[in-house]
Amino acid sequence: MSQRSGAPTIRFDATLYTIESWTILRLPEKASRKLPSRGQVAVQGTINGHRFQTVLEPDGNFGHWMRIDRKLQQTAALSAGDNATLEIESLKDWPEPNVPQDLEAALAAAPQKIQDLWKGITPMARWEWVRWVNATPKPDTRKRRVEVSISKMKSGKRRPCCFNLAACTDPYLSKNGRLLEPA
């Protein structure tokens, strides 16, 4: 696990639910207010006593949510509709993001200057680039965002600009920058 930020542990109960094919958990408003940002927040903690580390996503309503992958569901014996008890604390050290294949290929093909910039920025900044590229379901728009990312890094930009960091940007789980409600 990563280094704690020194923030207090946040304890809460929440219900898992499904949007599309994903199982997610929305943090209660009171828990989200205790986090250091309305945007993404790196956390570690426990869900029903089982340790995890993730980056919470903003829900577009000044709150947060997290995806509960199959592995964590199996480990914690949880499924949609179940209530879970969580204890989380924010982290100073962010985990590395999973870089999508198209962005990873573009970075690998980019000049060394861009590769060095990518390696030199913080994991939090890399999460922002990945989030911006992933924020569209349209292949043409996504391709353009990868190209623009490389272009911006070529000019020395260390972060993408011009998108709301507190919006829910998952194109399959949101509408108008807000996390969808369960069906």
Q: pLDDT band at 4, cuts 50/70/90?
A: low
Query: pLDDT for 102-147, tens place per residue?
Result: 999 999 999 999 999 999 999 999 999 999 999 999 999 999 999 9
d(CA 35, CA 98): 23
Largest CA distance in the chain: 49
Question: Of 109, 107, 106, whose CA–CA distance to 121 is shortest?
Answer: 107
What is the pLDDT of the chain when averaged over all its residues?
94
Rounded CA-CA distance 36/77 in Å is 29
**175 bridge partner residues:** 178
CB 135 within 8 A of CB 169: yes
User: Where does the pLDDT of residue 182 fall: very low under 50, low under 70, confident under 90, or very high at 90 and above?
Assistant: confident
Q: E strands, 68-172, where?
A: 83-90
- Write the pLDDT tens digit of every residue in 77-87: 999 999 999 99
| Per-residue model confidence (pLDDT) at position 131 | 95
Question: What is the C-alpha to C-alpha distance for residues 145 and 103, in angstroms, rounded to an integer?
Answer: 9
